[in-house]
Structure 1
């Protein structure tokens, strides 16, 4: 068959779709909407690499810390930057104080000039938040006059909360302090961190799992109106076309719908792109300019979608015999074969099996085998589900009238019913596998902080110039605070240039030290020795005890030999007492516990200062009151909440990306299922009207539609759970992680899938009631 004949037949089918009257237009519009929803999500996915790259570029360009061990000298091209990050309830706020030291001081990205003292430049989202009625405490914390807004080049997202404020008299300090002197923003020497093989593998699986339901829905959308189309094609046989030509014409109709779907999907994507700036999902937002898909990936989508429409149509018509006098579809079809359907998941398992046990110590996983194996397992769901639905509904027996109507309809068109739920089954299978994978490896990216949130809920790290004792009293008087513990910490060593053998030093009043250890007695001037009973390094513990001898000459804040330090010599007091370890200590510490007057005054600048705060949780906005006090005492104070555990930011970002993608896929699932359901009801309009005309109750017909959805979705969810558990177990084996099943997650995923289908069914009831009118029998 020549290419010319193919193109002519496809073009004829496209003309039939466009000039087939109202029936043809409605069918093509339904196909275009279904395909368009999938195309929009595909375009969004192709834009994700650019989103990640754009956000990373902004982060790099505005970087303002270098952790240098020496302070850069003051010059006319330097600027002092103070970090004043804070939170407002659960939202992070990025804050910076700027003090230019010369006319050539560099501006951070997004600013056109430096704000003067008492002024600030804010992000649009923060400006809107500060103007709201409920932000009184935040306005007290940021008592600056707004003089402008930060440009897009200085923000990683449209909803980011950020500000730059003017300041005077800041003092820089080396070693990653809260105030640094810079001559340029950005990292001039970026380092490439070695990628985590497990995280890379998880990223690949996330993309495959999110995109597979989209592909399944597109394949189902191009078959909308298949039964009416096939009956109409019988007329073409009557005027002389052969069966192959008829199938090509049908493919041309699907091609027209797919091409229109590309246009509709592009329109959906562009509209969503403009709306993206006003949307924030799980704390993440983007600018419309970030959503620029890669041209190569766009071209791939533009070619793959129409080609898939043609191939799917030709494949679907294999079992349909179109003769001049009708369509041989109602005759009993040959039973679906199982053997080739099992080959797909088995081939997927075969591709993944060589990587079982690799873990993160055996290099990167083969990305082609990972993608191919996961795809084949998920495609196996779409292949097995029609066979499963056909076998089960063939054995369903008698029951209520609504049950019999539903079962008979499923027995006549089990393939159509399976196609409707294929996408949801694939999505649920992938979600279960990912839930198992994330739950299994979570412990590898989660570590204990050593903090007990029941003993203290917040910590405020203060800068050098703030008096920690006065700060402790101020926090104690703050609304919503039950108690505060003011501490200063540092290290000392027996040698001036030997920080590797240093011992901990903790300074506080008697009440503060009693929160850390059991003291025999305490008054100002006392010094206590505290060994860590849980120390696993016995050699280090012995060396520490040697340095805690009374009368020993030591150096506070020792530095390395190539660093100019500020060591303070000190003699361990003769009246050294022993302190007992406290099981519920605020911190896991060891070394010396010192009351303030026992330490030389010149040692104070070498210590880090912080206040631990115990909140009265019955007081509303207690945390915000603490942050306001911290900002008033020390603008560059670092305030954060205590948690028992913390997670890797990369792991958390990947999980957030999964949730965002899953939300988009669920929206697509719901919309596509609704379109598919409406198309099925439209094709059965005359049948429904006939049943109503013969006296069938509307309630019975409504229940029959519900049963027609419930039976295949139940089978689909059972199959999805089986495949999802299998895939999850294999992925955990690949990461060398023990296989465990979080049954609550499995049930929640299947419940979400069932809820989406139930919602679609409920939304389709009003159109169903309109279709069940006797005038639906009218024809021309």
Structure 2
């Protein structure tokens, strides 16, 4: 067999595909659409690494956090910048106050010139939000005039909300962590976090699980219209072609459909690429320019898809006898063998077994073994499902007419029924395993918050020098606020911090009114001017030596590295001893408790303050009302909304990526099932019309089609459940995590798969009813 003969036969098959009349074109288009959907998702997947890389690079390029202790002096190339990030409803907004200190101050990426004081440059998405009716509340928080927009180079996504506002006098805030003087943007000295082997495992499994259903669907799409094609091939045998030549011609037809599918896939990808710039999925958005498939991976897709089309067709025709007078497909087909189908999942388990128990302590997981093992287990689903469907439907008993029609059809073409649901079975099996893995390890990346949400729901950190009492009054006057208490802090030491570099006795000072101090200690009586000393706090070892009446101490309210002015303070007579209780953040305050009347004026003016706010959750936009008040009281206020649990950002980003990928894969599965269902109905159009002509009720035929979907999908989901639980158990053992089954998530994944199948069956009913008309018997 020469390459020339192969090329001739393949090209002849491609020619037949495009010149075979309406039937040929319909089959090619169905194959092309199916393959195109899969190719588009594969191209999107190959573009994801580049998109993530570009997002990271642009985020690093605009970074304005310094990891160096050396602060530059004011110069012609310096600027001062303050982090004033905020949240509006459930959307994060990146905000910066900027003040250039010289003509050569570096510009942030995407910004052509620094905004003047009172102006701001905004991202296109933020400008759109501010100009809409939904942005009325946010406009009160950002009282700046829009002077321009941030270019693409300065944003990590098309829907990102960000702005730079011009300000002055920022240098006075540099003793806090939110404000810094810099000479450039970017973080070249930032040391990346160590790689977590469990998170790497999660990423690997996510990619394999999301891509496997796509590959399964593409292999099924190239077999659309198989029965009609085989009857056409019988005619070729009649005019003299041998069986091998006939199979090569059939492979050529599939090759033509797959090549056209590559074109469709590229078009679908380009359309989706442009549409990606206007959507946001789970809080993540990208610019179309980010989605550039890696050339090597795109070339691999372009080669692998046509090659798979040829290979799948040749393998599918091995069990079909094509003779000049017809196709022998249904004359007592040989039973499918089970042994080699079990080899695949067993081999997958064997590849994963060496890594069981490694957890975090024994280095990274072998990426090739992980990928190979998971792939073999999921491929095992596609191999086992046809055998299971054949074995079960062969034993199904009698029933209604619709049931008998469905069962007989499944008995005649169980392989076709299995191929239809293979993609969804693989997707559900992988999703179940991932849900088990996420549920098992999330305890390592999710910690219960120590904050007491029954005492407060929002914490507002005010800058040093902000008047406390007026600020608290403003918060109490805010709509939706039921309570607000403020606590300020200072340090006290036996000697000045400038006198010696050695260790010295020191303690903390908590400042507030009587109601606020009762948040941190049990006070018997309290009035303005009182001073208390706290006993019984484990970490507080120096206070007993400092809490002596008449002792001269140094009190300092500065929390930063800038030089501060200390105030001499004499411990008063009549100290009252109290015992600490945990504050709303779950911490105990030791040292001294001072009512505001006992605080030196110089310290009171500089003390930083924490305000704990309680909300009436029934008031609409209560949190945003508090954020607006905080921005009005202090432009550098840091507002933190408390939650019950704190989740690792890296773990959350992987989970977000899974959700985005799952949405795309589920959309593909739904579309692929619908295309496959329509293709099968088209092949049975004459049979359906004949049954209606003989008096079969349309309701009976509709129910039979529904049963033909329900039976294989039920078997597929049961197999998915078994494989998914097995894979999830192995993955949990690999991470040295206690094996547990998150049944709500498992049943949710299974239910989603069933819902997709039922939705496809319902959507196929209108075309089915049209195919039952007598016109379906017309032929040429």
TM > 0.5:
yes
Tell me the distance in 1 between the aligned counterparts of 2:94 and 2:594. Answer: 36
Task: Name the stretch that deviates more: 1-10 or 357-366.
Answer: 1-10
What SS class does the counterpart of residue 440 from structure 1 fall into? helix
TM-superposed deviation, 1:517:
2.2
Aligned 8 A contact 1:356 1:735 in 2:
yes
Mapping of residues 243-642 of structure 1, within 5 Å: 243-493=243-493, 496=497, 497=501, 503-531=507-535, 540=539, 542=541, 555-556=554-555, 570-582=569-581, 585=584, 587-592=586-591, 593-604=593-604, 607-642=607-642
Tell me the distance in 2 between the aligned counterparts of 1:70 and 1:547. Answer: 34
TM-superposed deviation, 1:168:
1.6
Tell me the distance in 1 between the aligned counterparts of 2:208 and 2:363. Answer: 21
What are the superposed Cα offsets for residues 119-154 of structure 1, whole Å, 9 maximum, x if unpaired? 111111111111112322211111111121110111
What SS class does the counterpart of residue 278 from structure 1 fall into? coil
TM-superposed deviation, 1:640:
2.0
Name 1:163's counterpart in structure 2.
Answer: 163
Tell me the distance in 1 between the aligned counterparts of 2:679 and 2:443. Answer: 47
What SS class does the counterpart of residue 612 from structure 1 fall into? strand
Distance 1:304 1:596, change over 3 A: same
Name 1:756's counterpart in structure 2.
Answer: 756
Aligned 8 A contact 1:158 1:285 in 2:
yes
Name 2:104's counterpart in structure 1.
Answer: 104
TM-superposed deviation, 1:552:
5.7
Distance 1:752 1:176, change over 3 A: farther
Distance 1:351 1:557, change over 3 A: farther
What SS class does the counterpart of residue 630 from structure 2 fall into? helix
Tell me the distance in 2 between the aligned counterparts of 1:551 and 1:712. Answer: 87
TM-superposed deviation, 1:6:
1.4
Name 1:712's counterpart in structure 2.
Answer: 712
Name 1:130's counterpart in structure 2.
Answer: 130
What are the superposed Cα offsets for residues 422-476 of structure 1, whole Å, 9 maximum, x if unpaired? 0000000000111111111111001233101121111111112312232112111
Instruction: Give the RMSD, CA atoms, in angstroms.
Output: 2.1
What are the superposed Cα offsets for residues 42-89 of structure 1, whole Å, 9 maximum, x if unpaired? 000000011111111111111112155454211111111122211111
Aligned 8 A contact 1:122 1:163 in 2:
yes
TM-superposed deviation, 1:114:
1.2
Aligned 8 A contact 1:489 1:607 in 2:
yes
What are the superposed Cα offsets for residues 482-541 of structure 1, whole Å, 9 maximum, x if unpaired? 1111111244455645689864432211111112221111122323333566x5xxxx45
Mapping of residues 50-65 of structure 1, within 5 Å: 50-65=50-65
Tell me the distance in 1 between the aligned counterparts of 2:175 and 2:313. Answer: 65
Distance 1:454 1:558, change over 3 A: closer
Aligned 8 A contact 1:71 1:173 in 2:
no
TM-superposed deviation, 1:764:
0.5
What SS class does the counterpart of residue 591 from structure 1 fall into? coil
Tell me the distance in 1 between the aligned counterparts of 2:155 and 2:458. Answer: 28
Q: TM-score, normalised by structure 2?
A: 0.96
Aligned 8 A contact 1:67 1:177 in 2:
no
What are the superposed Cα offsets for residues 129-184 of structure 1, whole Å, 9 maximum, x if unpaired? 11112322211111111121110111111111111111122225456622221111
What SS class does the counterpart of residue 133 from structure 2 fall into? coil
TM-superposed deviation, 1:343:
0.8
What SS class does the counterpart of residue 515 from structure 1 fall into? coil
Distance 1:204 1:718, change over 3 A: same
TM-superposed deviation, 1:553:
5.5
Distance 1:219 1:524, change over 3 A: same
Distance 1:464 1:585, change over 3 A: closer
What are the superposed Cα offsets for residues 557-615 of structure 1, whole Å, 9 maximum, x if unpaired? 69999996766554544433222344675542231322223333343476432211111
Name 1:142's counterpart in structure 2.
Answer: 142
Tell me the distance in 2 between the aligned counterparts of 1:332 and 1:737. Answer: 49
Tell me the distance in 2 between the aligned counterparts of 1:383 and 1:548. Answer: 78
Tell me the distance in 2 between the aligned counterparts of 1:647 and 1:138. Answer: 27
Aligned length: 775
Task: Name the stretch that deviates more: 224-233 or 522-531.
Answer: 522-531
What SS class does the counterpart of residue 478 from structure 1 fall into? coil
Mapping of residues 71-86 of structure 1, within 5 Å: 71-86=71-86
Tell me the distance in 2 between the aligned counterparts of 1:254 and 1:231. Answer: 15
Tell me the distance in 2 between the aligned counterparts of 1:395 and 1:532. Answer: 76
Distance 1:570 1:644, change over 3 A: farther
TM-superposed deviation, 1:776:
0.5
Tell me the distance in 2 between the aligned counterparts of 1:560 and 1:660. Answer: 42
Aligned 8 A contact 1:36 1:261 in 2:
yes
Name 2:154's counterpart in structure 1.
Answer: 154
Aligned 8 A contact 1:690 1:774 in 2:
yes
Distance 1:697 1:119, change over 3 A: same
Distance 1:532 1:255, change over 3 A: farther
Tell me the distance in 2 between the aligned counterparts of 1:200 and 1:586. Answer: 33
Tell me the distance in 2 between the aligned counterparts of 1:622 and 1:731. Answer: 43
Task: Name the stretch that deviates more: 644-653 or 60-69.
Answer: 60-69
What SS class does the counterpart of residue 135 from structure 1 fall into? helix
Name 2:674's counterpart in structure 1.
Answer: 674
TM-superposed deviation, 1:635:
1.1
Name 2:684's counterpart in structure 1.
Answer: 684
Tell me the distance in 2 between the aligned counterparts of 1:33 and 1:725. Answer: 33
Aligned 8 A contact 1:462 1:637 in 2:
yes
Tell me the distance in 2 between the aligned counterparts of 1:59 and 1:22. Answer: 53
Tell me the distance in 2 between the aligned counterparts of 1:375 and 1:506. Answer: 59
Distance 1:31 1:503, change over 3 A: farther
Task: Name the stretch that deviates more: 594-603 or 15-24.
Answer: 594-603
Aligned 8 A contact 1:108 1:154 in 2:
yes
Tell me the distance in 1 between the aligned counterparts of 2:553 and 2:395. Answer: 87
